[in-house]
Structure 1
Amino acid sequence: MCQRNRYQTKRLKYKLRNLLALCCSMVSTVYFYAVPNEIAAENQSGCKPINKVVFITDADNSLPNPLSTPAEEYTYDSDGINDSPSRTTKESAIGHYNTYWRKTLRFLPLDSADYIGLPYPYTTPTLRGNTLFAEMYYWDSYFINLGLLASADSSQLLQAINNCNNLIYLANRFGFVPNANRFSMCNRSQPPLLSGMVMDIFCRTKDTSWLRSALDAVAKEHHWWMQNRFTSMLPIRFSPITRPHKPVGQDVHLMIDDTVLAKHEENEYIAGDLSDTNPIKETTPTDRILKAALSLKYGLNHYGQNADEIYLQRFSRFLKQRLGTEFDSLLEREAKDSVFETQRERQSKGQILCKHMLAEAESGWDFTPRFDARCESIAALDLNCLLYMGELTLARGYAILGEKHISKAWEKTALQRKKTMHKTLYDKSTGLYWDFDLANNKKTFVPGAAQFMPYFTGLAKQDRKSTLALLFLCDTLITGFGVIPCLPVSNRVLWKTQWNSPNAWPCLTHFAAAGIYNYSHHSNPMLKIRPKTTRLFYSIRQTLLESFLGSVEKQYNQNGKFWEKYNLYSGNLNVQNEYEMPEFMGWTAGLYMYYKR
């Protein structure tokens, strides 16, 4: 009891200290101006941000009017910081972040030829001057926001809100959040982390009016994933005409091959059995949610794309340049001549391969041997875990708003997804979750960092077998300086990939560290874990984070920069690249500040 009181006292002191720092920062030399934006008001469909603001500093006392600024990029003159700073004097990595985080900001309120205008300043993964990653990327923003929200600086808090509001705007405008704010990237999304960003911000602001509009955008995005990235695994009934050797009414499981999945353009996800003549009609706010719950009895979600033929041809040329001759040879094998196929069918084989690779771009893992270059055919474990997290967030959020009937419907949807994932992706013999091959109706059994996602989202079973499985993952996948993205596997991916060993990605390190924390006895008293195991989990997590932070600091001390990824075994920059790695803030700086603060 005494120990608990000491813990509560310490926590109260921490909250008071943060509150005092926040109050002090509010009266600093940073000013906040409301900026009218008719374009945002027209396209946001009822989205009500907490603050329609952009911020300026003493060094930049004029902002462009979003209604009169031409469609070109506007960047902040961040406190007079030079575009090419000389780093002859050593400064800490934390000091570097606090000095240069504003140089990752862009402001483009109007659409241009390729860029999608956003109503608020947004954070890019790289500093101004880099040609790579000069856009706002979807899932990168989640990790960037973790670093911003960990600060007591009000300007960083408001920039985190700006980032989230921009994603809400995109979800309301397009029905989903594109890969980045470019029209050429609107044929795919990225891992759905908007729900996590929304709840992170609400926990800081407690603004229920903003939460309501934000949850509506999250629900809209969820509907898009169910409409466009859902595959049913239902048995299909055949008539004597189509299958004369089967009795009428007998269930036959349809084995869906890659070609069928690639052409999968279902406009409505399935509601109940295919023989159901009375599907649910959407007459109340909960009908669409219950429809999703029924669908999840029979299927799961996968990554995909919506590219047209012209884009796929361009993407094919891009892949040949980025991945080299090994990919080119596979593309030729896929499109090889056959006396049984027309020219159109031979070309479509190459296009299907490009569609799978574009789906990998939607997964964020571009590119990896994890999916065997068949990403559209795989019910990805991480995707379904994140959608489960989104459903729980929607249930929790609407409960906070007093919408109990909607909350219950989302809770039912989350529970149904959890049941289907346990039935389909869970392996009872090992206690591990795996990706599922929809085309061949089996688990892929490719070990990798995605297997931490059930622990990150709280989907994994809370029993001793899951605890032992987590210990096995830690022992197998965690190295000296990060988490192995994908263990060696024998498949048709023969080219060098960056989401593979020896690369340590900060985002995967975070998923693993958070998953370990969620399933330790300290954070989850419902788990019956022995004290020895609890101490072991704590030690594993602490070692992982210290090695990650240490590698970031060591490389910063050597060259004065943050980087996109590091080496798994040495912590240096000896990594496998598919492009020249630029100086990077993004998730590296965000997670560094999150764990340091």
Structure 2
Amino acid sequence: MLTLVLLSVALSTCVKGALPPPCDSEIYCSGPILHQVQRAKLFNDDKHFVDMKLRETPDVVLSAFRNLSSESLNATVPPAKLQEFLKAYFEEPGTEFESWTPPDWHDNPKFLEGIANQELRNWAKKIHILWKSLGRKISAGVRDHPELYSQIYSPHPVVVPGGRFRELYYWDSYWVINGLLLSEMTDTAHGMIQNFLHLVDRYGFVPNGGRIYYERRSQPPFLPLMVERYYQATKNKEFLRAALPALEQEYRFWMQNRSVTVEVNGAKHTLNRYHVQVGSPRPESYTDDLELAEGLTDVGKEQLWMDLKAGAESGWDFSSRWYTDGHIHGSLGDTGTSQVLPADLNALLCRNERTLASFHRILGDGDSAALYDQNAARRLEAVESVLWDVERGAWFDFNLMTHSKHLEFYPSNLAPVWAQCYSRPEMGEKAVQYLKESGALQFPNGVPTSLRESGQQWDYPNAWPPLQHMLIDGRLT
């Protein structure tokens, strides 16, 4: 029988008015302008508005909107008036960037020579060329007048995912940096990592992305592995020494703000989860979140909005994986991400603990290395005690509400193999057998994110590249 001992903040019922705002901006993160503009659905994508630049200071814009609202009898500004207001006080998204081509890009990196198939080599070269179109340099205006932007200033140019994702994103950038190093773009990769270290210095952790409306949530903590990849490529010990304090600061953030203690058979184990205590709609998906919460109590709305943000923090936004009301019959409104101890997050933190130990050994600090080794050993014991299923041969997310494992197939069930976070070789062998018997290898375009078609993008039939890489890197396919 499993007994739960939760930290004081773990599953507390939220109290209306006690939660922090998504950020300090009364325009981009909360307040009547955000509410009315997004409710009016003036744009096809809610992210459009919160990425617009102010033409005037926030106090001037807020005052102008109060005057505009006072002209309306019911305080709801008509859409036409809102359009005029936006034209007068906002600029279109994109003005926060300057054109920039990575100066270390060149035509023929060595990895292309290693691709024997001409068709695949041509395809790889097209991918390599994309670096030139995905580079962004944040303008000096963002640095000098941050109050006019939702963009967070970072001192070095960035490589962005593209499309509506105009800014830097956290866990995406791990694979970006791997690709940059493969393309011999070491300077660009170094700048990307320096940006993340800068964000940790500023916030104590890495936000979800480079916008102020992401300031209260993070993403899977891949920064130690970014630093590891760069060190492997350069053997630059001074870079490693300078980066280490920020890596340790981020690790403390996850342990102090995203951890839960559980008790199994009389032994207590600490594991981590995604948890964002901001009970309001996501600014970049404002109307979706409002509509999803219709009919709920105020407390229910706040809890759902917190769990949607936690789902965004996971990177798996969204998936049946986070449903609390059963994966078969659940829906997005049943999202309860903060009630889940994820197998992949804990595998990643296990790998991070070992990576931090190795960094300290490289730098000659054996005592600190031993402490992180101990943390990794405790994590390994916790992962095996709470998440490992010996009969099925895989690791499963654990639900804190139902006190049970989620037994659906997700590639994350194999993450401890990728992270080398298991104690006995036969566990890895069982995991390979589990994957073969799951039926997930029968799809020619990659292992699907789940085997359940929920309509969410992190479910069947989609197969996301990071998950394919983790499976292949773990030698599971």
Aligned twin of 2:100: 76
* Structure 2 counterpart of 1:299: 270
- Match 1:318 to one of 259, 276, 288: 288
Aligned match of 1:546: none
- Give the conservation status (yes or no) of the 8 Å contact 1:297–1:416: no
Is 2:456 the partner of 1:497? yes
Aligned to 2:134: 104
Distance 1:141 1:400 in 2: 25
Q: Is the 8 A contact 1:114 1:182 kept in 2?
A: yes
TM-score of the superposition, structure 1-length normalised? 0.55
Name 2:158's counterpart in structure 1.
122
Percent of aligned pairs with the same amino acid = 29
> Any idea what SS the aligned residue of 2:136 has?
strand
- Cα distance in 2 for partners of 1:230, 1:401 equals 29
SS in 1 for 2:420: coil
Between the aligned partners of 1:168 and 1:185, the Cα distance in structure 2 is 17
Q: What is the alpha-carbon distance in structure 2 between the residues aligned to residue 433 and residue 361 of structure 1?
A: 22
Conserved? CA contact 1:312–1:351, under 8 Å? no
In structure 1, distance between residues paired with 2:99 and 2:436: 42
Q: What aligned pairs does 1:127-526 form with structure 2 within 5 A after superposition?
A: 130=163, 132-151=164-183, 153=184, 156-234=185-263, 297-309=268-280, 311=281, 315=285, 317-319=287-289, 328=292, 331-332=293-294, 335=296, 346-372=297-323, 373-476=335-438, 477-478=440-441, 479-488=443-452, 496-516=455-475
Aligned twin of 2:149: 113
RMSD over aligned Cα, in angstroms?
Answer: 2.7
Label 1:307 to 1:184 Cα distance change in 2 as closer, same or farther (>3 A). Answer: same
User: What is the aligned partner in structure 2 of residue 13 from structure 1?
Assistant: none
SS class of match (2:129) = helix
SS in 2 for 1:138: coil
Counterpart contact for 2:279–2:301, Cα < 8 Å = no
Within 1, Cα distance between the matches of 2:469 and 2:462? 15
Distance 1:133 1:315, change over 3 A: closer
Once residues 75 and 314 of structure 1 are traced to their aligned partners in structure 2, the CA distance between those partners, rounded to angstroms, is 25
Deviation at 1:362, TM superposition (A): 0.4
Amino acid at match of 1:141: S
Helix, strand or coil: the match of 1:504? coil
Residues 26-37 of structure 1: matches in 2 within 5 Å? none
Structure 2 SS opposite 1:233? strand
Q: Contact 1:78–1:103 (CA<8 Å) still a contact in 2?
A: no
CA distance in 1, matches of 2:357, 2:419: 14
Q: CA deviation at 1:394?
A: 0.4
Q: Which amino acid aligns with 1:202?
A: Y
**Conserved? CA contact 2:158–2:191, under 8 Å:** yes
CA distance in 1, matches of 2:404, 2:228: 35
Shift of 1:145: 1.0
Residue equivalent to 2:65: none
Write the letter of the residue equivalent to 1:149: L
Name which of structure 1's ranges 440-449 and 359-368 shifts more when overlaid on structure 2: 440-449
Deviation at 1:96, TM superposition (A): 2.1
Q: Which runs of 5+ in 2 are unaligned?
A: 1-94, 106-120, 324-334
CA shift for structure 1 position 233: 2.2
Give the 3-state SS of the residue equivalent to 1:351 in structure 2: helix
Is the 2:451–2:461 Cα contact (8 Å) retained in structure 1? Answer: no
Contact 1:449 1:485 survives alignment (8 Å): yes
CA–CA distance in structure 1, aligned partners of residues 351 and 466 of structure 2: 17
Give yes or no for contact 1:188–1:359 (8 Å, CA) kept in 2: yes
Look at both structures and tell me which one has the larger radius of gyration over its CA atoms.
1
CA distance in 2: counterparts of 1:379 and 1:104, whole angstroms: 34
Change (3 A) 1:221 1:297: farther
SS in 1 for 2:475: helix
- Aligned pair in 2 of structure 1 residues 399, 297: CA closer, same or farther (>3 Å)? farther
Q: For the structure 1 residues 78 and 157, does the alpha-carbon distance in structure 2 shift closer, same or farther, using more than 3 Å as the test?
A: closer
Q: Could you tell me how far 1:470 is from its partner in structure 2? A: 1.5
Q: CA deviation at 1:461?
A: 3.6
Partners in 1 of 2:448 and 2:424 — Cα distance?
24
Matches within 5 A, 1:59-74: 72-74=96-98
Helix, strand or coil: the match of 2:171?
Answer: helix
CA distance in 2, matches of 1:417, 1:468: 20
